[in-house]
Amino acid sequence: MDEALKSRLVGLALVVLATACWSTSGIFINWIVDGSGISPVGLAFWRDITTFTFLLAGLAIFRPELLRIKRKDIPWIAAMGAISIGLFHVLWNTAVLVNGVSVATVIQCNAPIFVTIMAWVLWREPLTPLKILAILIAGVGIVLIARLDNLAQSDITLYGLVIALLSAIAYGSFSLFGKKLSASYSSWTILLYVFGFASLALLPFQIAGRSAPWPVPTKTLLSFLALVLFTTISGFGLYTSGLRRLQASIASITSNTEVPFAAALSYFILGERLDLLQVVGAILVVGGVVLVSLSRRKAVKPPVAA
């Protein structure tokens, strides 16, 4: 087999494995909240600070040179941590609990669509006919998923839809911040510090509330560790390894395999199911994201998964 083809196939396999890791996020979030009663803000804080601790220990032991950052970049990294990780995880936790795993995952996949719109607003990147078509297709998909044609009979509330859309915007902001920083630092360096600043941003909200209810059942602690080690760190590590072998646009398109993985897991484990129109909407959303990815010659590396 041709070496280039073999490398590409390995890269695709690694990205698919990464999305399989990411797709477990909603399952673990449900189990953790059910087992502890922790709030979405509290769970976001403990997930972020635990991830930061593991990453700090790993880099300090194996790659200490990656711990260095420039002082002038701290404001950008701090903003990325507060918005793209801290705020995103609060919104994502809430979206999963309010809307269910399948719907939250599909709507979050609109992140590249929002990145395209924000890049047009902030940097005047051109909105090509293909991008406009992608935005329209994804928009129709959102309408069908949320069942806005019959909201009164839908399980999704307007509040849940707004939270899910804000989650996708916060998720997409990682790419906007990362566009400035990715040329200067390793992905692991960026990940370490954004999780650190996310923890600092969420810390004030833990003091007044019951952030980490004790005692916590062993099963819940195991679910939390799986969320950190399997969903977050392993998922990102696999994706980074795959990205070295693939074009960023191809990796971005392949990462949409998270949708069927999340839908299957939520169906078999949580008993969630999408109706026919919502399935059509999910297909339209994924199709819109694929069009956006194909239309961007220099795609930005997608952010860390939920």
pLDDT reported for residue 135 = 82
Q: What are phi and psi of 175, to 5 degrees?
A: -65, -35
Q: For residue 16, tell me if it sits in a domain.
A: no
Q: Tell me which amino acid residue 197 is.
A: F
Q: How many CB atoms lie within 10 A of CB 157?
A: 13
Q: Tell me which amino acid residue 5 is.
A: L
Residue range 134-157: mean pLDDT, rounded = 72
Q: Tell me which amino acid residue 135 is.
A: I
Sequence-ordered alpha helix ranges (H) in 80-232 = 88-99, 101-108, 111-123, 129-146, 158-181, 187-202, 204-207, 218-226
- Cα–Cα distance for residue pair 90/98, rounded to 1 Å: 12
Q: What percent of the chain has pLDDT over 90?
A: 35
Residues in the chain: 306
Q: For residue 229, tell me if it sits in a domain.
A: yes
pLDDT reported for residue 249 = 58
Q: For residue 11, tell me if it sits in a domain.
A: no
Residue with the two structure tokens 């941590």: 81
Q: How is residue 260 written in tokens? A: 């069927």
Q: For residue 156, tell me if it sits in a domain.
A: yes
pLDDT in tens, 244-293: 787 665 676 677 788 888 888 888 898 887 778 888 888 888 888 777 76
Q: Is 82 within 8 Å of 201 (Cβ atoms)? A: yes
Residue range 40-63: mean pLDDT, rounded = 95
- Cα–Cα distance for residue pair 185/74, rounded to 1 Å: 12
Residue range 231-242: mean pLDDT, rounded = 87
Instruction: Average the pLDDT over each of 120-129, 153-162, 208-217, 257-266 and give the range with the smallest value.
Output: 208-217
- Cα–Cα distance for residue pair 142/278, rounded to 1 Å: 9
pLDDT reported for residue 258 = 83
Q: Is residue 3 predicted with pLDDT exceeding 70?
A: yes
CA 22 vs. chain centroid, Å, equals 8
- Sign for the pseudo-dihedral over CA of 108, 113, 114, 116: positive
Residue with the two structure tokens 């902030």: 122
Instruction: Average the pLDDT over each of 124-128, 177-181, 231-235, 241-245 and give the range with the smallest value.
Output: 177-181
Q: Residue 38's domain spans which residues?
A: 28-295
Q: How many CB atoms lie within 10 A of CB 300?
A: 20
**Of the ranges 81-90, 135-144, 256-265, 286-295, the best mean pLDDT one:** 81-90
Q: For residue 2, tell me if it sits in a domain.
A: no
Q: Which residue has the higher pLDDT, 174 or 92?
A: 92
Q: Is 234 within 8 Å of 84 (Cβ atoms)? A: no
Q: Tell me which amino acid residue 201 is.
A: A
Q: For residue 270, tell me if it sits in a domain.
A: yes
**Of the ranges 140-149, 179-188, 244-253, the best mean pLDDT one:** 179-188
Q: How many domains does the chain have?
A: 1
* Average pLDDT score, the chain: 83
Q: Is 105 within 8 Å of 27 (Cβ atoms)? A: no
Instruction: Average the pLDDT over each of 25-34, 48-57, 114-123 and give the range with the smallest value.
Output: 114-123
Residue range 1-23: mean pLDDT, rounded = 85
